[in-house]
Structure 1
Amino acid sequence: MSSGTTELAWFKSSYSGSEGDSCVEIAIAEQAVHVRDSKDVSRPAFAVGRDGWGRFVRFVEQASAQL
């Protein structure tokens, strides 16, 4: 993980609600999507390749369509 994650533009899902204290935040970079805990941003973030993130999002969309 690079030390440059603090310069990333972090955002939360619109589903996180007004409290916003129980969510993850993501930041989209050229080569990866970075993920961190919104409750404790001092903890290390992790990065997922953009292809892997796309597969994850498609899986979640398909799974939630079945609910």
Structure 2
Amino acid sequence: MNEILNYTDIEYFSLSRLLIRESESINRWKNGDTRLSICISCNSCYNTDDHKCIFNIVYY
């Protein structure tokens, strides 16, 4: 990501879906955990109230 930001015209990356699915991702990366995200970019989070991941919703 750093190379792309520093050597191309791209100005930013969007991580919103990832952070909706896995809010602790940035802390994982800081601690050296480089596993791939489990977010599958299905966009279903944008079809819910409050933009919540459909896989993280608890139904009672």
Flag the structure with larger Rg: 2
TM-score (norm 2): 0.29
| Larger RCO (CA within 8 A; separation ≥ 6) | 2
TM-score under structure 1 normalisation?
0.27
Greater percentage in strand: 1
